[in-house]
Amino acid sequence: MPQRPFSRDQVFLLPPSFDDWVAPGHPARFVATWVKELTSADWATLGIDREPARKGEKRYAPDALLAIWVYGFMVGIRSTRALEAACHDQIPFRFVSGNQQPDHNTLARFYKNHRGQMRHLFRRSVQTAVHAGLVDWALQAVDGTKIAANAAGDRMLTAEQLDLLLTKVDAAIADLEAQETASAESEPPEMPPALRDPHALRERVQQAIAIVAATDGPQKANVTDPDAHLMMSKGRIVPAYNAQAVVARVPGDADHREQRLIVAAEVRTRADDHGILDTLIDQATANTGQAAAVTVADAGYHDGAMVQTCAEREMVVVIPIPKNPAAASPYHGDRFIHDPQTNTLTCPEGKTLAHWAQTTSRSGEVVDRYGARKGDCQPCPAKQLCAKDAKRSRVVDVPQSKPARLAHAEWMATDDAQRHRTQRGGLVENVFGTLKTRHQARQWLLRGHEAVRAEWTMLALAYNLKTLWACDQRTRPTSASSW
């Protein structure tokens, strides 16, 4: 068959236009338009002055730098050097950058200076979806995923190991400073490079010592990233962070794949999910402007204090009750009947337990403690089943959230609650899978809780913009405009 003309020496007869090289429905166009439509108030919230200075070195346009970062997170390119290379090699990046190639230092400075304010752009993406009618308030799902920290697992040290390391670092710094003082004719204007890393290491070690010394802190801390804690990630215990998200469904028809939207995002340093559900619901409500009818979570979010808080605030939540084999015992604490008039408990054998004191549990929940008389428990034929390990008599702790827990158990037994429960996995877990595979979010690139929190916010923003772009293509396949 005939062959097409081929030559690498071919010159353009007319100046090339990147507008002709990027398809009308390309995500790069969507990002460029979305950034272009940011208002002056948006830029002010980001802390970016769009008016350049009249003197000094010329800067890159903030629109270009922001578009590079947002589009990079959308396609899974999150490091500054990879973004720099993409601005040279990839046409979509040359399109969003206006055919400019900022170096990795410029990109890093821009991101570091403004990443703390990127939560505003995430909130704006949610509000854009709300204004377009792309948020289903009938149900939202909450879940968390462990993402490995940018930290070495063998640098998790105990308090004794940290103290020893701090002593060695101080000695090394003193030795280096003595050498620098002896060799320098005058005091240098800044810390020499040989001393910068030891000083940074000392700061991290001191931060790790403070974390371990905290009364409710972990027994070990990581020197590379002190904020990271040991968690189970991909079947291994590694330093990690617990990334949380609230996901809502995007209304659609049966002819198109169901879309999802992240309406709230947070990162915590604790491996468990206790005590954060109401905070996530509040953030989702603030971002969307309306509370979802039902919020569904897995059993990891269940604790008495949170169930009581949600009940008091009239939040409809579906949280499976964790399995507790001891609850099936006929002498479980829930089998003891409370008399509000005398503030006593009656055990299944008819004995009375008097109120002893009011204490606080490890989770911070207020607990009422009741105890039976020794003379009632010792001769009781059920003692081996009821109070086998008790030295004197049976003691029962009744959390003040017990009425709320019992009401929640009744709600969870209904068909509606079980129907909502079955929808959680398909709604939120697919989002985490997409972020880890298509957005390369299997490990954090930054260190420190605040930096990781900003990184998670950017990932959530990128996911939402991809959803908005997909919806735009569904309704207007040839349109490049945003909402």
Distance CA 418, CA 406 (A): 16
Instruction: From 26, 421, 468, 42, select the one nearest 262 (Cα to Cα).
Output: 468
Instruction: From 461, 322, 335, 474, select the one nearest 398 (Cα to Cα).
Output: 335
The pLDDT mean for the chain works out to: 85
Token duo for residue 378: 């010792």
Q: Give me the percent of the chain exceeding a pLDDT of 70.
A: 80
- Phi, then psi, of 293 in degrees rounded to 5: -65, -40
Q: At residue 207, does pLDDT exceed 70?
A: no
Q: At residue 386, does pLDDT exceed 80?
A: yes
Distance CA 66, CA 110 (A): 8
Instruction: From 322, 262, 229, 299, select the one nearest 119 (Cα to Cα).
Output: 262
Q: What stretch of H or E contains 143?
A: strand 139-148
Binned at pLDDT 50, 70 and 90, residue 163 comes out as: low
Q: Sort 483 into a burial class: Cβ within 10 Å, 0-12 / 13-18 / 19+.
A: middle
Contacts 24+ apart (CB under 8 A), 451-457: 451/115, 452/149, 452/227, 452/241, 452/267, 453/266, 453/267, 454/115, 454/116, 454/118, 454/119, 455/78, 455/115, 456/243, 456/265, 456/266, 456/267, 457/118, 457/119, 457/122, 457/265
- Yes or no: say if 102 and 253 are a contact pair by the CB < 8 Å rule: no
Give 37's DSSP letter. Answer: T
Chain region(s) in the chain for CATH 3.30.420: 135-150+232-323+409-460
Binned at pLDDT 50, 70 and 90, residue 189 comes out as: very low
Section 419-446 average pLDDT: 92
Q: At residue 255, does pLDDT exceed 60?
A: no
Instruction: From 356, 337, 357, select the one nearest 347 (Cα to Cα).
Output: 337
Question: Among 237-251, 293-307, 464-478, which is the least confidently predicted range?
Answer: 464-478
Section 281-289 average pLDDT: 96
Q: Give me the percent of the chain exceeding a pLDDT of 90.
A: 54
Token duo for residue 364: 């911070």
Residues with Cβ within 8 Å of 331's Cβ and at least 6 positions away in sequence, in order, are: 347, 348, 382, 385, 386
- Yes or no: say if 246 and 142 are a contact pair by the CB < 8 Å rule: yes
Architecture of the domain defined by 135-150+232-323+409-460? 2-Layer Sandwich (3.30)
Strands 317-318 and 229-233: unpaired
Q: What is the pTM of this model?
A: 0.83
Distance CA 412, CA 416 (A): 8
Token duo for residue 93: 């990046």
